[in-house]
């Protein structure tokens, strides 16, 4: 018989895979002797088993739950479902990785019509008893029965209005009683049965609901965004209740040991008097800063600070803690390593190293590589900002600058983002259903909620600018407008948010690249010491290249040459080349392009100051270059002394049924060797000249794309060598150059041993390799992948997270076969995956020489490479 249930005192922090983060930490805090309401945790394995059984909790697990419950009753001296001295519990979810707001907690479970009266009498506080019961009915209905909260909130608002009060704390016992009657009748009406009165039934239903919530749509989206596997499952903790809603000597709060936005040392948090559970984060009333507790309840504050410090020292990291005060008695309900912004993560890591609490290696391991993205996020252009009109001011919940058009629903935000707009999501408050809209937004503005509200926490995690709790806003969601600072802002109007200061501006304020500071350089220097993988960048222009070097790029892994052809003064020449009918004409058109290409390459070589640069020869299908606008067609006709009709016909002939698999890549160089020859001349001349002018030792790396067969590569390579040698002779140069290929067609991976006979290096083009391996095009996959996530066929987008099982196998095979032929084969990856931490780790394991990614992801790759090396 397996062990499916652990009392808090049986667990510890190392058991987070089994007990979930929350359960493991509750156990750890119990062992530390802290004031923790006791309880037990049903394991993540039980959750997996629930699914294996076809969504049923098997007998054995149920039995163990009731055994643990019996022990809890004994400890507490109360009985679950008892009419004299009832034990009330909370039912809490907690996966291995924290998934904020993904699964809701149920409080005050065990109450029913009879015990609520006993409870009222026993505590001498009927108001409190009824408040607890109405909360329980609402939470149970919402979380377990999936009855919309709005029914219940509507009733609450109605009664508040009838009584002429603003806050729920102003309601009397009698009012609450009336609310309970109304709640129960809504329940009966909607569910067709009475609200469940049997506590054991309530408990098992609640546990099942937590298990079910692991697979709700928002959890699936969250997992995909955060690389959390679907087979981890969630644990369930059942814990004796303590009450923050007994009156003015009670309350509940959330606090961090250091500031989660800036990393500044010192306690940081909020609490609400006479409140329970999520009241603080739900933003129903504006919470008080934690420092106020020192005045209100000095003894409680002192004890709170002692425990907070103890926890930080114990975990040696910034803690995010949840606590409740019941009649001036303090209880801790949760601690975890706090989520933080990237600047805060760096500050805290550096401070902890300086405080002697952690080593640089630990500092490297702790920083989430992906989050470095945030540091590189735009700021407002100072001058533009000075001219901007401030509409209002609220809490700076997540830093960064954002400007965009206002939308009031997550759907609208998502839709307009997909249409290419920059979007600001404005909401009363956000909830987990809004997650995709929040993801789509440049910035988020909420009317309600504090620094720890859902919007704030989620935005910080995403690195999206967020301002919360802007109570001055008068919002009319139905009319799609809001009023602030004397202005009416309607849907589609521009506003700008400064998530670092909390200021809201009118209009579209210009943003600029972020400044990176000392902590960043320190952490990056530590990372560079430990990583084995080199990090290159994908850059096509000198400006991008220079930016990437600033961010630590050690070379260019992919310089695409086609982008250079789209410039207005060049496109006519390439069009002329494409429509040429004879080789002479083509050569003539191409020789017009050589000076441009050579200048491009010289610019890039100069920007890279001697660092290696891999230049990929022309790749896309030619029809991408042909004119579609009437006026361009006419111009081209004139240029080429053809009729418009002739030009149109020639363009039409370039049409392909499936251009992704059409006339592109090295196939262009096979049909028109002149193209590869022109590009070779430009590369070689540029390198030789820059070497002569600047004293560098550049060795050009020429990369032939889309190769699937050795002879194909050999054919193109022969033209390249022919011209390269000619140029060397013309310049009297003995420059060394390298010719390699991309591995992006499965056949090339299968025959890598043969390909390596002709290639000095391989660069895995994982965008194409993924699309060819899966057999779906990356331009079309968006249309159906959502259905695949929903049906749990795929968990993540294979174009952003490398499919290690499938595509990864091809890479591994190509490496083995390639190196068997050519032991010093140089290996890299240049797909989008080069900047994805999980994929970087995979590349490290496979022993690649480098990864190459977009400039802004270079720091991510550097850190991820160090983390992979330290695993
Ligand atoms: P989440 O994962 O969303 O933070 P929690 O399980 O932490 O959910 O529960 C939310 C809040 O409910 C806690 O911060 C705490 O205030 C309250 N809560 C949970 N369990 C108890 C309990 N046993 N006694 C009192 N309050 C509780
Ligand atoms: Mg929650
Ligand atoms: Mg919590």
Q: Is 245 helix (H, G, I), strand (E, B) or coil?
A: coil
The candidate with the shortest Cα–Cα distance to 535, out of 520, 521, 524, 519, is 524
354 Cα distance to chain centroid:
29
In angstroms, the Cα distances linking 867 to 55, 228, 362, 370, 860 are 38, 18, 10, 12, 10
The C-alpha angle with vertex 222 and arms to 216 and 223, in degrees rounded to 5, equals 90
Cβ–Cβ under 8 Å, residues 36 and 29: yes
**CA 213 to ligand 3 center in whole angstroms:** 16
The candidate with the shortest Cα–Cα distance to 554, out of 563, 545, 543, is 545
Half-sphere exposure of residue 138, counting CA atoms within 13 Å on the CB side? 20
Phi, psi of 147 (to 5 degrees): -85, 130
In angstroms, the Cα distances linking 765 to 149, 723, 804 are 49, 26, 14
Lowest mean pLDDT among 184-198, 290-304, 371-385: 371-385
How does 163-199 read in b/e, with b if 16+ C-beta sit within 10 Å?
Answer: eeeeebbebeeebbbbbbebbbebbeeeeeeebbeeb
What pLDDT is stored for residue 452 in this prediction?
66
What pLDDT is stored for residue 341 in this prediction?
81
Q: How many residues does the chain have?
A: 871
Pocket test for ligand 1, best of 322, 454, 457 (most atoms within 8 A of CB): 322
Q: DSSP per residue over 450-463, as a string?
A: -TTSHHHHHHHHHT
**pLDDT interval class at 654 (50, 70, 90):** confident
pLDDT digits (tens, 9 = 90+) for 569-593: 788 888 888 888 888 989 998 998 8
What pLDDT is stored for residue 259 in this prediction?
93
Q: Tokens in use for 429? A: 């408050």
Tell me how far apart the 2 most distant CA atoms of the chain are, in Å.
Answer: 102
What pLDDT is stored for residue 331 in this prediction?
98
Calculate mean pLDDT across residues 605-615: 97
Which amino acid residue places its CA nearest to atom 15 of ligand 1? Answer: 277
Give bridge partners of residue 497 from the DSSP assignment: 402, 504
What pLDDT is stored for residue 100 in this prediction?
67
Which ligand 1 atom lies nearest to the CA of residue 239?
Answer: 23
Helices 126-139 and 173-191: angle between axes, nearest 10 degrees: 20
Strands (E), 494-543: 494-498, 503-506, 511-512, 534-538
Phi, psi of 753 (to 5 degrees): -60, -40
Cβ neighbors of 5 (< 8 A, separation 6 or more) are 40, 41, 42, 43, 46, 61, 64, 65, 67, 68
How does 428-463 read in b/e, with b if 16+ C-beta sit within 10 Å?
Answer: ebbbbebbbbbbbbbbbbbbbbbbbbbbbbbbbbbb
Give bridge partners of residue 733 from the DSSP assignment: none
Among all bound ligands, the one having the nearest atom to the CA of 90 is 1
Pocket test for ligand 1, best of 26, 90, 95 (most atoms within 8 A of CB): 90
Percent of the chain with pLDDT over 70: 98
Burial class (CB in 10 A: 0-12, 13-18, 19+), 638: exposed
Q: Tokens in use for 321? A: 């803690």
Bridging pattern class, strands 39-42 and 5-7: antiparallel
Cβ neighbors of 17 (< 8 A, separation 6 or more) are 44, 96, 232
Among all bound ligands, the one having the nearest atom to the CA of 252 is 1
**CA 252 to ligand 1 center in whole angstroms:** 9
Cβ–Cβ under 8 Å, residues 339 and 259: no
**CA 454 to ligand 3 center in whole angstroms:** 12
pLDDT digits (tens, 9 = 90+) for 429-442: 888 778 889 989 99
Among all bound ligands, the one having the nearest atom to the CA of 277 is 1
Euclidean distance between the first and final Cα of the chain, in Å?
34
Bridging pattern class, strands 534-538 and 511-512: unpaired
Cβ–Cβ under 8 Å, residues 143 and 104: yes
Phi-psi region of 610 (alpha: psi -120 to 50; beta: other; left: phi over 0): left
* Rounded Cα distance, 422 and 507, in Å: 12
Which ligand 1 atom lies nearest to the CA of residue 104?
Answer: 3
In angstroms, the Cα distances linking 123 to 130, 131, 165, 324, 743 are 11, 13, 25, 18, 73
Phi, psi of 814 (to 5 degrees): -65, -35
Which amino acid residue places its CA nearest to atom 17 of ligand 1? Answer: 277
**CA 322 to ligand 3 center in whole angstroms:** 6
The order of strands in the sheet holding 487-490 is 474-476, 481-484, 487-490
Strands (E), 564-705: 613-616, 701-704
Which amino acid residue places its CA nearest to atom 22 of ligand 1? Answer: 241
* Rounded Cα distance, 545 and 790, in Å: 39
**pLDDT interval class at 267 (50, 70, 90):** very high
Calculate mean pLDDT across residues 299-327: 97
**pLDDT interval class at 784 (50, 70, 90):** confident
Pocket test for ligand 1, best of 278, 325, 327, 432 (most atoms within 8 A of CB): 278
How is residue 723 annotated by DSSP? H
What pLDDT is stored for residue 783 in this prediction?
74
Phi-psi region of 558 (alpha: psi -120 to 50; beta: other; left: phi over 0): beta
* Rounded Cα distance, 619 and 626, in Å: 15
* Rounded Cα distance, 167 and 279, in Å: 12
Q: What is the 3-state secondary structure (H, E, C) of 633-657?
A: HHHHHHHCCCCHHHHHHHHHHCCCC
Predicted structure pTM score: 0.80
Q: State the DSSP H helix or E strand holding residue 322, giving kind and residue range, or none if neither.
A: strand 319-326
* Rounded Cα distance, 90 and 304, in Å: 22
Which ligand 1 atom lies nearest to the CA of residue 254?
Answer: 14
* pLDDT above 90: residue 169: no
**CA 106 to ligand 2 center in whole angstroms:** 10
Q: Is 40 helix (H, G, I), strand (E, B) or coil?
A: strand
Among all bound ligands, the one having the nearest atom to the CA of 94 is 1
What pLDDT is stored for residue 440 in this prediction?
93
Which amino acid residue places its CA nearest to atom 20 of ligand 1? Answer: 90
Q: Tokens in use for 846? A: 């496979």
* Rounded Cα distance, 408 and 424, in Å: 9
What pLDDT is stored for residue 303 in this prediction?
98
* Rounded Cα distance, 76 and 71, in Å: 9
pLDDT digits (tens, 9 = 90+) for 693-721: 999 999 999 999 999 999 999 999 999 99
In angstroms, the Cα distances linking 679 to 565, 601, 603, 703, 735 are 12, 10, 15, 11, 17
Phi, psi of 36 (to 5 degrees): -115, 125
pLDDT digits (tens, 9 = 90+) for 350-360: 999 999 999 99
Among all bound ligands, the one having the nearest atom to the CA of 234 is 1
**CA 56 to ligand 2 center in whole angstroms:** 25
pLDDT digits (tens, 9 = 90+) for 553-567: 999 999 988 767 777
Residues in contact with ligand 1 (CB, 6 Å cut-off): 37, 90, 92, 105, 107, 239-242, 252, 277-278, 322, 324, 333-334
Q: Tokens in use for 775? A: 């057999």
**CA 666 to ligand 1 center in whole angstroms:** 60
Which amino acid residue places its CA nearest to atom 10 of ligand 1? Answer: 277
* pLDDT above 80: residue 124: yes
**CA 308 to ligand 1 center in whole angstroms:** 17
What pLDDT is stored for residue 283 in this prediction?
67
Burial class (CB in 10 A: 0-12, 13-18, 19+), 569: exposed
The set of catalytic residues is 454, 830
pLDDT digits (tens, 9 = 90+) for 660-692: 889 999 999 999 999 999 999 999 999 999 999
Calculate mean pLDDT across residues 9-33: 97
Pocket test for ligand 1, best of 24, 75, 89, 92 (most atoms within 8 A of CB): 92
Q: State the DSSP H helix or E strand holding residue 483, giving kind and residue range, or none if neither.
A: strand 481-484
The candidate with the shortest Cα–Cα distance to 234, out of 54, 3, 44, is 44
**pLDDT interval class at 471 (50, 70, 90):** confident
Which amino acid residue places its CA nearest to atom 27 of ligand 1? Answer: 277
What pLDDT is stored for residue 562 in this prediction?
79
Neighbours of 662 (CB within 10 A): 16
Q: Is 274 helix (H, G, I), strand (E, B) or coil?
A: coil
* Rounded Cα distance, 477 and 34, in Å: 46
Cβ neighbors of 783 (< 8 A, separation 6 or more) are none
31 Cα distance to chain centroid:
34
Chain position carrying tokens 């040459």: 561
pLDDT digits (tens, 9 = 90+) for 796-839: 888 888 999 999 999 999 999 999 999 999 999 998 788 889 99
What pLDDT is stored for residue 145 in this prediction?
93
């Amino acid at each position: 018989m397996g062990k499916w249930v652990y009392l808090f005192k049986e667990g510890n922090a190392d058991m987070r895979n089994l007990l979930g983060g929350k359960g493991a930490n509750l156990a750890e805090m119990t062992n530390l002797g802290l004031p923790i309401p006791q309880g037990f945790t049903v394991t993540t394995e039980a959750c997996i088993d629930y699914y294996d059984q076809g969504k049923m909790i098997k007998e054995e697990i149920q039995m163990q739950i009731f055994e643990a419950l019996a022990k809890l009753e004994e400890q507490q001296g109360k009985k679950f479902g008892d009419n004299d001295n009832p034990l009330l519990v909370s039912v809490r979810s907690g996966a291995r990785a924290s998934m904020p707001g993904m699964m809701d907690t149920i409080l005050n479970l065990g109450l029913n019509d009879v015990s609520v009266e006993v409870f009222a009498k026993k505590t001498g506080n009927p108001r409190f008893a009824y408040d607890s019961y109405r909360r329980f009915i609402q939470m149970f209905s919402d979380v377990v029965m999936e009855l919309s909260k709005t029914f219940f909130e509507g009733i609450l608002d109605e009664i508040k209005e009838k009584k002429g009060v603003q806050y729920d704390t102003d309601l009397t016992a009698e009012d609450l009683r009336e609310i309970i009657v109304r709640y129960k009748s809504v329940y009966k009406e909607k569910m067709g049965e009475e609200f469940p009165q049997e506590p054991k039934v309530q408990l098992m239903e609640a546990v099942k609901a937590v298990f079910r919530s692991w697979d709700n749509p928002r959890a699936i989206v969250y997992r995909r965004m955060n690389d959390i596997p679907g087979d981890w499952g969630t644990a369930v903790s059942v814990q004796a209740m303590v009450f923050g809603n007994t009156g003015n000597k009670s309350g509940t709060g959330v606090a961090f040991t250091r500031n989660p936005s800036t990393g500044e040392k010192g306690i940081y948090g909020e609490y609400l008097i006479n409140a329970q559970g999520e009241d603080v984060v739900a933003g129903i009333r504006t919470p008080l800063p934690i420092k106020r507790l020192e005045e209100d309840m000095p003894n409680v504050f002192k004890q709170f600070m002692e425990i907070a410090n103890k926890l930080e020292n114990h975990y040696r990291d910034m803690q995010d803690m949840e606590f409740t005060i019941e009649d001036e008695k303090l209880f801790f309900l949760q601690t975890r390593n706090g989520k933080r912004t990237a600047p805060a993560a760096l500050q805290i890591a550096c401070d902890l190293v300086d405080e002697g609490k952690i080593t640089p290696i630990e500092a490297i391991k702790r920083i989430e590589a992906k989050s470095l993205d945030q540091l590189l996020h735009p700021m407002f252009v100072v001058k533009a900002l000075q001219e901007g009109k401030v509409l209002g001011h609220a809490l700076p919940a997540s830093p960064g600058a954002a400007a965009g058009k206002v939308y009031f629903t997550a759907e609208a935000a998502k839709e307009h983002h997909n249409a290419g707009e920059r979007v600001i999501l404005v909401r009363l408050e956000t909830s987990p259903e809004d997650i995709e809209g929040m993801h789509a937004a440049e910035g988020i503005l909420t009317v309600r909620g504090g620094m720890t509200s859902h919007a704030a926490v989620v935005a910080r995690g995403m690195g999206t600018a967020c301002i919360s709790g802007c109570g001055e806003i008068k919002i009319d969601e139905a009319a799609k407008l809001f009023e602030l600072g004397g202005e009416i802002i309607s849907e589609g109007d521009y506003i700008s948010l400064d998530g670092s200061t909390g200021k809201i501006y009118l209009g579209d304020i210009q943003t600029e690249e972020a400044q990176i500071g000392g902590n960043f350089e320190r952490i990056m220097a530590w990372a560079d010491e430990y990583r084995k993988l080199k990090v290159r960048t994908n850059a096509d222009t000198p400006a991008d290249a220079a930016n990437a070097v600033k961010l630590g790029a050690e070379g260019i892994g992919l310089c695409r040459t086609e982008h250079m052809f789209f410039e207005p003064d060049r496109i006519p020449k390439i069009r002329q080349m494409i429509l040429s009918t004879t080789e002479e004409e083509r050569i003539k058109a191409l020789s017009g392009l050589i000076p441009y290409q050579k200048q491009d390459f010289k610019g890039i070589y100069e920007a890279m100051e001697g660092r290696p640069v891999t230049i990929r020869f022309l790749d896309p299908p030619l029809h991408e270059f042909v004119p579609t606008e009437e006026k361009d067609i006419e111009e081209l006709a004139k240029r080429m002394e053809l009729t418009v009709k002739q030009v149109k016909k020639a363009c039409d002939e370039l049409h392909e049924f499936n251009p992704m698999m059409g006339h592109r890549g090295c196939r262009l160089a096979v049909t028109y060797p002149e193209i590869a020859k022109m590009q070779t001349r430009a590369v070689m001349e540029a390198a030789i000249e820059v070497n002569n002018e600047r004293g560098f030792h550049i060795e050009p790396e020429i990369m032939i794309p889309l190769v699937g067969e050795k002879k194909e590569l050999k054919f193109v390579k022969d033209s390249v060598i022919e011209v390269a040698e000619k140029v060397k002779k013309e310049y009297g140069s003995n420059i060394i150059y390298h010719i390699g290929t991309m591995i992006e067609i499965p056949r090339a991976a299968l025959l890598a041993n043969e390909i390596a006979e002709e290639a000095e290096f391989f660069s895995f083009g994982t965008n194409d390799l993924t699309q060819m391996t899966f057999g779906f095009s990356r331009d079309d996959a968006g249309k159906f992948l959502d259905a695949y996530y929903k049906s749990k066929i795929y968990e993540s987008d294979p174009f952003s997270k490398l499919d290690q099982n499938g595509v990864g196998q091809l890479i591994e095979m190509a490496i083995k076969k390639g190196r068997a032929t050519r032991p010093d084969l140089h290996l890299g990856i240049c797909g989008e995956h080069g900047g994805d931490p999980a994929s970087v780790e995979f590349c490290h394991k496979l022993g690649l020489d480098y990864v190459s990614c977009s400039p802004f992801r270079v720091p991510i790759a550097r850190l991820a490479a160090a983390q992979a090396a330290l695993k």
